[in-house]
């Protein structure tokens, strides 16, 4: 049974990932919520840089957070996957190593927004990834998300 | 040119954005993350995909359409 994702758990991700040197960004609706977008979601989505070093650091950080990865699962994350869905830990987490619509992690990293120490994708990147994913739920969310992007840019641009 | 309905909708959204901006991040978190069981998707402890396209295809083939994970037509 999954548990509701809470602020303290986001802090744990931030602190543990930082300690392990993991390069990542909050993306998707959880990223938008960090930026101030008022909406609901179920889990956190992290855009993780896909390099051998970062993959290995991610496995170490996940295990410290309490995710019960088997050796086979750890090995495949270390080898490199594009998408990993985790429900074997203290909260649900999606690791996205190659989000639709964003070519390179480095580009998104340069545009990132720091929210109280949380590294978050720029709203343009969050929108770009949802546009490219093209799912029904993304298409439904995009008009309000674009309105939030415009509002956010007026305040922070 | 926007319609009255669009302007009204935008005005409502802006009011929501303003209200959210007045709340702390901790408070926003408390009300933003909910747990709702999603059939099939929540029935495995771990899944991985070599490519994002493979993940999208798996969602389209295996998840109930009403979850909204399939491609928009």
- pLDDT, tens digit, for every residue of A47-96? 999 999 999 999 999 999 999 999 999 999 999 999 999 999 999 999 99
For A56, what's the count of Cα atoms within 13 Å in the CB-facing half-sphere? 2
Q: Which residues does chain B have within 8 Å of residue A38's beta carbon, measured at their own beta carbons?
A: 16-17, 19-20, 28, 32
Closest Cβ opposite residue B29 in set A7, A83, A134:
A7
List beta partners, residue A115: A118
Complex-level ipTM beyond the 0.85 threshold: yes
Q: Where are the beta strands (DSSP E) in chain A?
A: 24-27, 44-48, 83-86, 93-96, 113-115, 118-120
Strands A93-96 and A44-48 turn out to be parallel
User: What is the overall mean pLDDT for chain A?
Assistant: 96
Q: Is residue A3 predicted with pLDDT exceeding 80?
A: no
Among A28, A41, A76, A81, most B C-beta atoms within 10 A, so best to mutate, is: A81
| pLDDT at residue A157 in the model | 75
Query: Contact B46/A92 with Cβ under 8 angstroms?
Result: no
CA B22/CA B16 separation, integer angstroms: 10
- Tokens 């928009």 sit on residue: B72
Domain count of chain A?
1
Structural domain includes residue A48: yes
Structural domain includes residue A125: yes
Check A81 against B42: CB less than 8 A apart: no
Phi, psi angle pair for A128, to nearest 5°: -60, -40
Q: Is A131 exposed, middle or buried (0-12, 13-18, 19+ CB in 10 A)?
A: middle
Quote the distance between the C-alpha of residue A76 and its chain's center. Answer: 19
Taking an 8 Å Cβ-Cβ cutoff, which residues of chain B contact chain A? 10, 13-14, 16-17, 19-21, 25-26, 28-36, 38, 41-42, 44-52, 54-56, 59, 65, 67-72
What is the reported pTM? Answer: 0.95
Q: How far is B36 from chain A (nearest CA, A)?
A: 7
A:B CB pairs within 8 Å:
128
Structural domain includes residue A105: yes
CATH no. for residue A145?
A: 3.30.460.40
Structural domain includes residue A111: yes
Q: Is residue A2 predicted with pLDDT exceeding 60?
A: no
Q: Is residue B15 predicted with pLDDT exceeding 70?
A: yes
Structural domain includes residue A1: no
Check B21 against A140: CB less than 8 A apart: no
pLDDT tens digits, one per residue of A132-141:
999 999 999 9
User: What is the overall mean pLDDT for chain B?
Assistant: 94
Q: Is residue A142 predicted with pLDDT exceeding 90?
A: yes
Phi, psi angle pair for B16, to nearest 5°: -65, -40
pLDDT tens digits, one per residue of A97-108:
999 999 999 999
Check B59 against A133: CB less than 8 A apart: no
Give residue B23's pLDDT band: very low, low, confident or very high (50, 70, 90). Answer: very high
- Residue A102 is part of which domain span? 7-152
Q: Which residues does chain B have within 8 Å of residue A139's beta carbon, measured at their own beta carbons?
A: 72
| pLDDT at residue A19 in the model | 98
CA A100/CA A125 separation, integer angstroms: 10
CA A155/CA A87 separation, integer angstroms: 36
Axis-axis angle for helices B4-21, A136-156 (nearest 10):
60
């Amino acid at each position: 049974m999954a548990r509701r994702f809470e602020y303290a758990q986001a802090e744990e991700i931030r602190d543990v990932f930082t300690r392990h040197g993991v390069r990542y960004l909050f993306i998707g609706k959880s990223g938008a919520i960090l930026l101030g977008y008022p909406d609901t979601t179920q889990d956190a989505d992290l855009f993780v840089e896909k390099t051998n070093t970062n993959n290995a650091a991610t496995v170490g950080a996940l295990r410290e957070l309490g995710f019960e990865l088997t050796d086979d699962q750890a090995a495949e994350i270390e080898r490199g996957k594009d998408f990993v869905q985790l429900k074997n830990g203290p909260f649900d987490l999606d690791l996205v190593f190659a989000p639709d619509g964003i070519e390179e992690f480095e580009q998104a990293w340069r545009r990132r927004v720091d929210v109280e120490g949380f590294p978050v994708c720029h709203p343009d990147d969050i929108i770009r990834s949802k546009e490219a994913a093209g799912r029904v739920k993304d298409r439904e969310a995009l008009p309000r998300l674009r309105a939030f992007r415009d509002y956010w840019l007026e305040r922070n641009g | 040119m926007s319609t009255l309905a669009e302007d009204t909708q935008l005005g409502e959204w802006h009011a929501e954005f303003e209200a959210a901006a007045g709340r702390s991040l901790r408070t926003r978190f408390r009300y933003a993350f909910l747990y709702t069981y999603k059939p099939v998707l929540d029935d495995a402890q771990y899944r991985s995909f070599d490519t994002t396209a493979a993940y999208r295809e798996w969602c389209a083939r295996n998840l109930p359409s009403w979850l909204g994970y399939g491609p928009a037509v």
